[in-house]
Chain A
Amino acid sequence: MRLRGWSLLVSVSVAICILVALLAIVGWIASLHTNVTTYSYSGAITHVRLRLASGDATIVSSPSAAVEVRRTDRYAFGHAARERRSFAAGIVSVSSSCPRIILGSCSASYEVAVPETATVEVRTGDGNVRLDGFRGSANVRTGSGSVAAAAYCGFDLSAVSGSGDLQVATACAPRHLLLHTGSGNASALVPPGRYRVDASGARRRVGGVTPDAGAPFTLDLHSGSGTVTIGGGL
């Protein structure tokens, strides 16, 4: 009789778990929302600071002197990310974070057009960061997100990640390129030439550039357990 009672208990438990899971999934799909918000700042902007707790960031060059922000919110059950933004002393500062969510989803991704005279500072947790044809100096830090830069043409680019991959292709020789990652791979594709090279990782492939301690351009790549690759192309 006890075994029968136990079977009954298991059956009821299975039913409850399935019911709750179904309810959660249906509620989640039904309440899934995507919002796009755009705003911009204009004036004498010298620095743009992004702090994103959950969400990706894409930085592009702004054709004008204005900073244009396009925010995409994705959330369920009506709990969107909260954003704080300010503009003072030439510094645009945007930070967003999702509320603590035990069941549900929330993210806020940003696409920001920054004038090339301004510097950019981006901090994300697990969000990925992209720089598309950006021409200013940038400082990026991520937790587990990856950093990818294409056709970068600025002075200084510094990207540090805990476990994400760092992949940078520059259109012109950067004055100082720093890519540090803990367990991800770091790779830099730069125009051929002489560079001061400081590369270390579990595996290291350097080619296409001429290492020269006196060169004006520095490539500083480091990976804790990943592969470090430097290639000269274009």
Chain B
Amino acid sequence: MKPAASLAGSGLDAVALAKLLAYLACGLLLGGLYLAAIVSSVVLGALLGVFWIGLLVLIGSSTLLWHCASLERRLANVLLDARIPVLPPLAGVRGGTIWQRVLRRLRRGPVWRGALLLGLRLPASALAMAAIASGGAVTVLLVVYGVRGLAGSDAGYVGPFSLGPASGIALCLLAAPVAVLTVAVTDLSRRAMRSLARSMLITSLAAHAPVREALAESLGDRTLSIAYWLPDRETFVDEAGIPVPLPEPGSDRAWTAVDYEGRRVAAILHAAHLEASPELVQAAAAAASLALDNERLKADLRARVEELSASRVRIVEASNAARRKVERDLHDGAQQQLVALALELKVLRGRVGSNDGALQLIDGIESKLSAALDELRALGRGIHPGILTDRGLAAALEALVTRAPLPVAREIDLPERPPPAVEAVGYYVVTEALTNVLKYAEATEATVRARYEGGDVLVELQDDGVGGAEAGRGSGLQGLRDRVAALDGELTVISPPGAGTLVRARVPRHPARLVSDAGAEPA
């Protein structure tokens, strides 16, 4: 600021003064209209409120007042340099009864604050104008009478003194502090009007428009985005916690660091060639640093949640893979060796001839060997049945219930196979539920269902047993719940005492995390 242009260093220059006076004059003109609009809409709304047309009046006038508030925002930005970001749009009025529409409109705090600002505009402007004008008038009068006294052209009295050169000098001297006071009052009213507009139009916004919107508005870059700094991971992430690369130097994007209390908080990513000067960007960044620090903490939290979810999927996937490997190893290793052993035993039986003692021994070994093979196959099925990998969930469930020692009805309709992880979860849900049915339910029959429903895969087992199953009892159901939740699914257990048990798993057909993170891993 040039000292010559500013009024005695108050920070108020001639242009700012002219703008302030224009703002106040607008307030005198428009403020009356605002007041008239507010009063008439309230009166009309109240009078016609009995009929629904009064509510329409309220909706219409709130829209009108909102436009007025937008106008005020522009006036304050242009004339007072208030830097108020754009107002959030009004709540929609479609849908619901007319009462609900009106309430939705009027329940919004910003509408009331905006109306309050509009209502205060006239009295505040008039007050400021009166203060400035009276200060200016007193200053001018003091100078005029002082000069007259000095010139001796006028007779009169100033208190006990007659108007002459001496009292003229005193009046002129007194004009100086009054002038200073007038400038101070002017500066004060400028600040007061600015903070009035800001408090009525900006704070209402903070809860609704994120910092990004405010920065994009004040820097004039719609494409502006914000990356938050996570110090322990040393990366920048976006609002959702996804890592963001910073633009390379020389590209059409640039970034400005935001620090808060000496810490790196965020980076503002904006067009390389902004209309705003670098100083303005820095100032805006400094002004937004606290809010950005808060946003950063949220982004940090989201990033952690994101990581946890991904790691849970990885753990499930890893355990699935390990089970598949163990099953393959059993199938290809121990099982094959036992089969080979059984063949060799048959050869041995041929060689032994008619030694009854030896034949009896061989029979005993054969039956033990076949029992061991059955157990090994059952073990393999429990860990990860090969049929699940090879022929899919529908076939695996068919095979599972066929072997079950109680009648199980099948309602399976899966025309195409879900992803392996989803199949594995569905299979384990039914296996675990079936084990529980056999152990606790005392059921006479059960039904297994599997189908697509919307974008989900639905797998459930229902029995007619004693019910009363609890998720907390043992870790079986809780373990299932965790595995289902890892794929963004949910597990429901409905088990009223005496009325059977329904265990239902609902898993998205294509879990997002599976696609983005775990899907890349080898099956």
Residues of A at the B interface (CB closer than 8 Å) are 2-3, 5-6, 9-10, 12-14, 16-17, 20, 24, 27-28, 31, 77-79, 99-104
Given contacts A3-B11, A6-B9, contact A99 B157 (CB under 8 A): yes
Q: Is the CB of A27 within 8 A of B177?
A: no
Rank and list the top 9 A-B pairs by shortest CB-CB distance, nearest first.
A100-B156, A13-B177, A13-B180, A16-B177, A77-B160, A2-B9, A10-B184, A103-B159, A6-B9
B307 CB within 8 Å of chain A:
no
How long is the Cα–Cα vector from A2 to B8 in the complex, in angstroms? 9
Chain B residues 1 to 37 lying within 8 A of chain A, measured CB to CB, are 3, 8-11
B145 CB within 8 Å of chain A:
yes
Chain B nearest Cβ from A109, distance in angstroms: 20
* Residues of A contacting B11 in the complex (Cβ-Cβ under 8 angstroms): 3, 6
Chain A at the B interface: mostly helix, strand, loop or mixed? helix
Inter-chain CB contacts under 8 Å: number: 61
Q: Is the CB of A103 within 8 A of B158?
A: yes
Which residue from A13, A17, A100 sits with its C-beta under 8 Å from B157? A100
How long is the Cα–Cα vector from A189 to B158 in the complex, in angstroms? 45
Chain A nearest Cβ from B137, distance in angstroms: 14
B155 CB within 8 Å of chain A:
yes
Q: Is the CB of A16 within 8 A of B174?
A: yes
* Residues of A contacting B9 in the complex (Cβ-Cβ under 8 angstroms): 2-3, 5-6
Q: Is the CB of B174 within 8 A of A24?
A: no
B154 CB within 8 Å of chain A:
yes
* Residues of B contacting A78 in the complex (Cβ-Cβ under 8 angstroms): 160
* Residues of B contacting A102 in the complex (Cβ-Cβ under 8 angstroms): 145, 156-158, 163
How long is the Cα–Cα vector from A14 to B177 in the complex, in angstroms? 7
Chain B nearest Cβ from A79, distance in angstroms: 5
For B179, the closest partner residue in chain A by CB is A13
B131 CB within 8 Å of chain A:
no
Chain A nearest Cβ from B438, distance in angstroms: 85
Q: Is the CB of A27 within 8 A of B184?
A: no
Q: Is the CB of A104 within 8 A of B10?
A: no
What 1/0 mask marks residues of chain B from 278 to 320 whose CB sits below 8 Å from any chain A CB? Answer: 0000000000000000000000000000000000000000000
How long is the Cα–Cα vector from A179 to B245 in the complex, in angstroms? 89
Q: Is the CB of B156 within 8 A of A101?
A: yes
How long is the Cα–Cα vector from A6 to B187 in the complex, in angstroms? 12
Q: 24 interchain pairs (CB within 8 A)?
A: A2-B3, A6-B10, A6-B11, A10-B181, A12-B177, A13-B181, A14-B184, A16-B174, A17-B177, A17-B181, A24-B159, A27-B159, A28-B159, A31-B160, A77-B159, A79-B157, A100-B154, A100-B155, A101-B156, A101-B157, A102-B156, A102-B158, A103-B159, A104-B157
* Residues of A contacting B184 in the complex (Cβ-Cβ under 8 angstroms): 10, 13-14
B414 CB within 8 Å of chain A:
no
* Residues of B contacting A10 in the complex (Cβ-Cβ under 8 angstroms): 180-181, 184
For A99, the closest partner residue in chain B by CB is B157
B178 CB within 8 Å of chain A:
yes
How long is the Cα–Cα vector from A2 to B155 in the complex, in angstroms? 42
What 1/0 mask marks residues of chain B from 375 to 415 whose CB sits below 8 Å from any chain A CB? Answer: 00000000000000000000000000000000000000000
For B148, the closest partner residue in chain A by CB is A102
* Residues of A contacting B145 in the complex (Cβ-Cβ under 8 angstroms): 102
Chain B nearest Cβ from A161, distance in angstroms: 27
Q: Is the CB of A77 within 8 A of B177?
A: no
Chain B residues 34 to 71 lying within 8 A of chain A, measured CB to CB, are none
- Of B154, B157, B174, the most chain A CB neighbours within 10 A belong to B157
Q: Is the CB of A20 within 8 A of B174?
A: yes
How long is the Cα–Cα vector from A104 to B161 in the complex, in angstroms? 10
Chain B nearest Cβ from A194, distance in angstroms: 48
Chain B nearest Cβ from A164, distance in angstroms: 25
Which residue from A9, A20, A24, A28 sits with its C-beta under 8 Å from B180? A9
How long is the Cα–Cα vector from A14 to B184 in the complex, in angstroms? 10
How long is the Cα–Cα vector from A27 to B176 in the complex, in angstroms? 22
Q: A20-B174, A31-B160, A102-B158 are in contact. List 7 more A-B contacts (CB 8 A).
A: A10-B181, A13-B176, A14-B177, A17-B178, A77-B157, A102-B163, A104-B158
Chain B nearest Cβ from A53, distance in angstroms: 14
How long is the Cα–Cα vector from A13 to B178 in the complex, in angstroms? 7
Chain B residues 156 to 176 lying within 8 A of chain A, measured CB to CB, are 156-160, 163, 174, 176
For A14, the closest partner residue in chain B by CB is B181
Q: Is the CB of A27 within 8 A of B181?
A: no
Q: Is the CB of B177 within 8 A of A104?
A: no
How long is the Cα–Cα vector from A13 to B155 in the complex, in angstroms? 28
Chain A nearest Cβ from B166, distance in angstroms: 14
How long is the Cα–Cα vector from A104 to B163 in the complex, in angstroms? 13
Which residue from A5, A16, A100, A104 sits with its C-beta under 8 Å from B159? A104
- Of A5, A13, A102, the most chain B CB neighbours within 10 A belong to A102
For B183, the closest partner residue in chain A by CB is A10
